[in-house]
Structure 1
Amino acid sequence: MTSGVVFPVSDGTNRSTSALGRAVVADALRAADPVGARAADHETNWRADYLVHFRRLVEAGLTSGDAARAIAAAGLASLHDRMRVAAADGAEVGLREAFDGTPAVELGTAVVAGDGEPDRELSLPYRGERLRGDALLRRLDAWTEAGVIEPGCAEAVRAVQANPDWLDLSDLRVAVLGAGAEMGPTRSLLRWGADVVALDLPRPGLWRDLLETVRRSGGRVHLPVPAGHDGGGDLAEVAGADLLHQLPAVAAWLRGVQGRLVVGNYVYADGAVNVRVCTAVDALTEHLRTHRPDTALSFLATPTDVFAVPAEAAAQAERRYHESSLLRTLRGPLRMVSAGRLLRRNYAPGADPGVCDSLVAQQGPNYALAKRLQRWRAAVARQQGATVSFKVAPPTRTRSVVKNRVLAAAYAGAPAFGVEIFDPATSNTLMAALLVHDLRNPPPVREHVWQEEADGAAHGGLWRMPYAPRSALGLAALLGLGGARG
């Protein structure tokens, strides 16, 4: 029997992920876009046709920041109202009641300090080199010119490089949820001497790797252990906590952390578990913000989602659409044989803003919902006055991507369309630098939520490529497979 944070029962004993996703999207749209809400409510093939509804969530809030924030708040409320917490004996409570009472287990804290000196110079690993100084600035310029990152991303990294004292985060406690994640900032923060509150599953191999990183660094890690543990022995064997099943205990543990808290959401799981664990993190976030209102938040957005993009990005994509190239020569025949599905232009001429739909059907509606609720939380928390670092991360060769054969092949072929795929070390260091920038320069509330989301994006080129990403995915995969065979 499934326990912990679970989907609600939708039919008899069935906990349908599709029913939950359909209902939450419909509830999010109901006030701002009643027609869209009705379409989501009556969608009969959610697993295949969810794409249009997730796009509509963005389009319905495109011209009104108030509407976009209302959609976000309604979506979060629906999710929290519907999700459940199940005990091993079958008893259930609502997600909102999960923090009532005394936790079934209690967590203590072990602290491990590194032996190294904090690194006070920003550097970036890139294709076998470590870029610093002028080399780093030249790489930022090259990425900006190629349309791989937005200008605001380069400006933020330049500011961190010019102010190395910002790397000293000793005044904060950065709680990294998903401390072992490939895209997470744990290693960079430790290298810069930060106090990292590390939370991840109780997996000894994961913790051994992390503790080895700590010992080589100039930082310090606070990790959860069973209450009463003396901090001796093999910490990797006892460290960790399970957000799905120990949510109240984790909440009590984080409430007790001394100093101003930053909560970074870097969790990931496959399939429906991703929604469950991201919902658990969101409930924890709301709980901590209630008890510790000065808590700052950090999120990484997937580039394979729907985003509104600035007019300048759309204009560059349009210029590229008309440039001479082999793809332009082949475009007409390919569109004809595919009934218009291949190589569609990315934006209508003059789009302001443009809507870049980079959703990948193979990732599925559970992945889309898990990532969307993070966007919703960022929008709502920022409006409430929280410091929020929300950044679109570049497409990256993470383990979760390369094990999907279609995505792995598409990533291999993506450079043919002007998209750069990043190595994990480059991505996580770049995104950690952007986190530092946002903690030292809290991003303001803007007129539109899409402007907040687009600020400093490092989308890898998806926003500025000439073709709608999904219309080029198949060709990119074919090119990638051909390259691999070659």
Structure 2
Amino acid sequence: MSDPRGVVFPLDPTSGRRSTTATGRAVVADALRGVDPVGAASAERETNWRQGYLPHFRRLVEAGVAVPGAAQAIATSGLDSLHARMRWATDDGDRPLEVAVAADESVPALGSETVRGEGAPDRTLSVPYAGERLSGDALRRRLELWVEAGTVEPTCAEAVGLVIDNPDWLDLSDRTVVVLGAAAEMGPLRSLLRWGADVAAVDLPRKDLWDKLIGDTRRLAGSITVPVRPGGEPLAARAGGDLVHDLGAVTRWVAAIDGPIAIGNYVYADGETNVRVSMAVDSLTRAVVEAKGRDDVALAFLATPTDVFAVPGAAVERSVDSYAHRRTSKVLRVPLRTVSGGRLLRRNYVPGQDPGINDSVVLQQGPNYLLAKRLQRWRATAYRADGGLVSFKVAPPTRTRSVVKNRALAAAYAGAHRFGIEVFEPGTANTLMAALLVHDLRTGSPAQPTAWQDEAYGAAHGGLWTAAYDPRSALGIAALLGVASAR
């Protein structure tokens, strides 16, 4: 682990190191124990967690579907385990994580400064796509085409259609949106500012980052209020807060925001830092909800499509039909499956499943990535079960910087269209996700009959749920085709 301070993994008593493997394995086992003791024991016995983690994360989803209330129990147990295990480390040693968000007068408070945009609010929903900006009937047609292609769930088109029908919903002046990870490519910041929203923006204290965010804000219609350190330097040099290392100060800054707020979690980091920053956000969230009251706080999350989800029977039926009729079934499937021992071009589902289990995990992303994303899903499930307002949306596969810097994944994305998968450009994806956030805030995001249906509602999975083939069984071929087309 590169930095031993702030939000950290616990010390492993056996090795004396901060082991992400030991923690991840134990948390998954703890989450499963109450509803699937056999699965919990299997996770605890896993000797090669970095390579063998996937079946255990899949089991978390399967066990959550099997019995009513199981998903909520898994979420609560997983969150409890993480908060009990993760630590707050200073030069004086490790302490419980809740110490970080407790009042500490020795930690300087962060001030606030606001930057206001000079543009006029846009009251028409428009989404950039293929070199155009689609709105009105053109946007409705694009949504219909995505549904017809199996790129998004029908509920996604319905939700965005409601925002098109109600342009006044874009006026979010009744609520401050707290954007954690303000500079994230998949975040809603620029859309919210274009619509004239007041945003509380938090990201790392980096001058280059804030120079760009401040410049963008001035050109748009909304405002950003940012945490600042005292001093006489320009705002960009004083703005920002480090959630992993300055968790208490950032938490108190967010808790002090007046009026109803929506806390949006858009943070991302590489490797084990992703779990640390996600835990920091979760600790902040718990503290702010306790301070402000549940009725005053909505939570927002974006889920990665490269995870395991329970999916509607209609998506399974579409996939089964596609498997039966794709041209590759006659040209490539049989010989490729034969030479690969059945590993390539496998069915996405067993026919007739409802719900089906879609496993689109990219193994190279690793167990820490999946644990960080699962933590966010658990918080969404638990908060909704407690009566809180939650916007949780599966975002489409997108050509973000974090994806394209991985050459193998970038190549796979370049060839994904050969298998019915649409990979989105960042501007299209983040605007679509911002529109879904508006829908959920305005409609109250009514709870679905089960937790898995809450996660599936409004999903924009890019076709991973409806594709003919298990995504990992086609990933290598997609990468080869992507490299060939690039050349």
The reply to whether TM is greater than 0.5 is yes
Structure 1 equivalent of residue 71 of structure 2: 68
Decide which of 341, 352, 360 is 1:339's aligned counterpart.
341
Contact 1:28–1:73 (Cα < 8 Å) also in 2: yes
Shift of 1:12: 4.3
Alpha-carbon contact 1:321-1:328 (below 8 Å) kept: no
**For 1:175-186, what aligned pairs fall within 5 Å after superposition?**
175-186=178-189
- The 8 Å contact of residues 5 and 245 in structure 2, kept in 1 or not, is answered as yes
What residue number does 1:92 align with? 94
5 Å-filtered alignment, 1:306-321, equals: 306-321=308-323
**Superimposed CA distance per residue, residues 378-411 of structure 1 (whole angstroms, 9 cap, x where no aligned partner):** 0000011111000000000000001111110110
Mapping for residues 25-424 of structure 1, pairs under 5 Å: 25-87=28-90, 89-102=91-104, 104-227=107-230, 234-292=234-292, 293=294, 294-424=296-426
Q: Residue 433 of structure 1: which of 435, 442, 451 is its match?
A: 435
Distance verdict in 2 for CA 1:220–1:324, change over 3 Å = closer
Structure 1: gaps (5+ residues): none
Partners in 2 of 1:19 and 1:205 — Cα distance? Answer: 37
Q: Is the 1:107–1:250 Cα contact (8 Å) retained in structure 2?
A: yes
Q: TM-score, normalised by structure 1?
A: 0.97
DSSP 3-state at the match of 2:53: helix
SS at match of 1:464: coil
Please, what is the CA RMSD of the aligned residues?
1.1
Give the letter aligned to residue 253 of structure 2: W
Residue 460 of structure 2: which of 458, 461, 466 is its match?
A: 458
TM-score normalised according to structure 2 size: 0.97
State the Cα distance separating 1:106 from its structure 2 match. 1.1
Once the 2 structures are TM-superposed, how far is the Cα of residue 446 of structure 1 from its aligned partner?
A: 2.8
What is the CA distance between 1:6 and its match in structure 2?
Answer: 0.2
Q: CA deviation at 1:286?
A: 1.0
Larger displacement relative to structure 2 (57-66 or 21-30):
57-66
What percentage of residue pairs aligned between the two structures are identical?
61
CA contact (8 A) 1:360 1:470 kept: yes
Q: Is the 8 A contact 1:65 1:447 kept in 2?
A: no
1:291 offset after TM fit, Å? 1.1
CA contact (8 A) 1:81 1:96 kept: no
Counterpart amino acid of residue 242 in structure 1? D
Per-residue deviation, residues 75-119 of structure 1 (Å, max 9, x unmatched): 0000000000001x1422111222223151210000111111100
Runs of 4 or more consecutive aligned structure 1 residues displaced over 6 Å after TM superposition? none
Q: Please give the alpha-carbon distance, in whole angstroms, between the structure 2 residues aligned to 1:442 and 1:410.
A: 37
* Structure 2 residue matching 1:139: 3-state secondary structure: helix
Q: Tell me, yes or no, if the aligned pair for 1:308 and 1:354 is still in contact at 8 Å.
A: yes
Could you tell me how far 1:71 is from its partner in structure 2?
Answer: 0.3
**Partners of 1:233 and 1:274 in 2: CA distance:** 30
What is the CA–CA distance in structure 2 between the aligned matches of 1:190 and 1:474, rounded to whole Å?
40
Give the structure 1 partner of residue 446 of structure 2.
444
- Spell out, residue by residue over 1:245-296, the C-alpha distance to the aligned partner (whole angstroms, 9 max, x if none): 1101011111111111110000000000000000110111111111112210
Q: In 2 relative to 1, CA 239–30 (structure 1 residues): closer, same or farther, beyond 3 Å?
A: same
How far off is 1:445 after superposition?
Answer: 2.7
User: 1:238 and 1:158 mapped to 2: Cα distance?
Assistant: 41
Whole-Å separation in 2 of the counterparts to 1:53 and 1:92: 29
Question: How much has 1:461 moved relative to structure 2?
Answer: 0.3
**Alpha-carbon shift at residue 64 of structure 1 (Å):** 2.6
8 Å Cα contact 2:194/2:220 also seen in 1: yes
> What SS is found at the alignment partner of 2:211?
helix
Question: What SS class does the counterpart of residue 60 from structure 1 fall into?
Answer: helix
SS in 2 for 1:462: coil
Structure 1 Cα separation of the partners of residues 40 and 331 of structure 2: 41
**Cα distance in 2 between the residues matched to 1:359 and 1:404:** 15
User: Contact (CA 8 Å) 1:357, 1:468: kept in 2 or not?
Assistant: yes
1:304-362 Cα shifts (integer Å, max 9, x gaps): 00001100010000000000403442111111111111111001111111110001100
| Partner Cα separation in structure 2 for residue 206 and residue 419 of structure 1 | 32
| Structure 2 counterpart SS, 1:98 | helix
2: distance between equivalents of 1:97 and 1:76?
Answer: 17
Distance 1:106 1:64 in 2: 46
Structure 1 position 481 matched with structure 2 position 483: yes
Q: Distance in 1 between matches of 2:449 and 2:153?
A: 19
Work out whether residues 323 and 329 of structure 2, in 8 Å CA contact, stay in contact via their aligned partners in 1.
Answer: no
SS of the residue 2:101 aligns to = coil
Contact 1:391 1:453 in 2 (8 A): yes
For residues 115 and 359 of structure 1, the distance between their equivalents in structure 2, rounded to whole angstroms, comes to 43
- More displaced, 323-332 or 272-281? 323-332
Cα deviations across residues 406-455 of structure 1 (Å, max 9, x unaligned)? 11011001000000000000000000000000000122233321100000
Give the counterpart letter for 1:141 in structure 2: E
Residue 233 of structure 1 deviates from its aligned partner by 5.3
> Residues of 2 paired with 1:217 and 1:376: CA distance?
35
Shift of 1:134: 1.2
Q: Secondary structure at the match of 2:201?
A: strand
**CA distance in structure 1 between the partners assigned to 2:478 and 2:382 by the alignment:** 36
Deviation of 1:2 after TM superposition, in Å, equals 1.1
2:22 matches 1:19: yes
Contact residue 179 and residue 264 of structure 2 kept, 8 A: yes
- Structure 2: gaps of 5 or more residues: none
CA distance in 2, matches of 1:93, 1:439: 37
What is the CA distance between 1:135 and its match in structure 2?
Answer: 0.9
Q: More displaced, 95-104 or 331-340?
A: 95-104
Aligned residue for 1:460, secondary structure, equals: coil
